[in-house]
Amino acid sequence: MDSQSQMLKGLLEGCILSIICEKEVYGYELSEKLHEAGLTMVKEGSIYPVLLRLQKNGWIEGTIKPSVAGPDRKYYRLTVKGEQALQAFDDSWEQLSRAIAYLRGSLR
Amino acid sequence: MNIKQMIVQNNERRKLLEPHNLAAYEDALVYIRLNGRSEHSTESILLELLEHLIEAQRHGKTAKDVFGDDLRAYCDSLVAAIPHQSKLSWVFDILRYISILLGSLFAVHTVFQLLADFFPTLRVEQISLVPHLVIIGLGAIEIFVLLVAMRAFVFGRNSGFILAGVTNLAAIAVYVIATVLFRDVWAVPVHFWSFLAVTLLMFGMAHLFKRISGRMNQTTASF
Q: Which tens digits make up the pLDDT trace of A52-107?
A: 999 999 999 999 888 776 788 999 999 999 999 999 999 999 999 999 999 988 76
Cβ within 8 Å, pair A28-B52: yes
Task: Round to whole Å and give the CA distance between B30 and B220.
Answer: 24
User: Angle A14-B46-A29 (CA atoms, 0-180°, nearest 5)?
Assistant: 45
ipTM: 0.88
Phi then psi for A78, rounded to 5 degrees? Answer: -75, 140
Task: Round to whole Å and give the CA distance between B139 and B132.
Answer: 10
Phi then psi for A75, rounded to 5 degrees? Answer: -95, 140
* A80-93 confidence digits (pLDDT tens): 999 999 999 999 99
Q: Is B74 at the interface with chain A, CB within 8 A? A: yes
Are the CB atoms for A17 and A59 separated by under 8 Å?
Answer: yes
Cβ within 8 Å, pair A64-B223: yes
Q: How confident is the model at residue A3, as a pLDDT?
A: 61
Q: Which residues of A touch B81 (CB under 8 A)?
A: 48-50, 52-53, 56
Phi then psi for B123, rounded to 5 degrees? Answer: -70, 130
Cβ within 8 Å, pair B48-A63: no
Q: pLDDT band at B62, cuts 50/70/90?
A: very high
SS3 B21: helix
Report A:57-86 residues touching B (Cβ under 8 A).
61-64, 71-74
Report the pLDDT averaged over residues A13-30.
94
Cβ within 8 Å, pair A64-B68: no
Q: What is the DSSP letter of B129?
A: S
* B180-200 confidence digits (pLDDT tens): 888 888 888 888 888 899 999
* B124-153 confidence digits (pLDDT tens): 778 888 888 888 888 888 888 888 888 888
- Global pTM value: 0.79
Which of A34-38, A73-77, B36-40 is least confident? Answer: B36-40
Q: Is A52 at the interface with chain B, CB within 8 A? A: yes
Of B45, B52, B223, the CB nearest to A52: B45
Q: Residue B169 pLDDT > 80, yes or no?
A: yes
Alpha helix segments (H runs only) across chain A: 3-22, 27-36, 47-56, 80-107
Report the pLDDT averaged over residues B75-98.
89
Q: In chain B, which residue's Cα lies nearest the Cα of A50?
A: B81
Residue type present at position B70: D
Cβ within 8 Å, pair B51-A52: no
Q: For an interface test with B, which of A16, A28, A60, A61 has the most B Cβ atoms less than 10 Å from its Cβ?
A: A28
Cβ within 8 Å, pair B52-A31: yes
**DSSP code per residue over A59-86:** SEEEEEEE-TTSSEEEEEEE-HHHHHHH
Cβ within 8 Å, pair A45-B41: no
Q: Residue A39 pLDDT > 70, yes or no?
A: yes
Of A27, A49, A62, the CB nearest to B223: A62
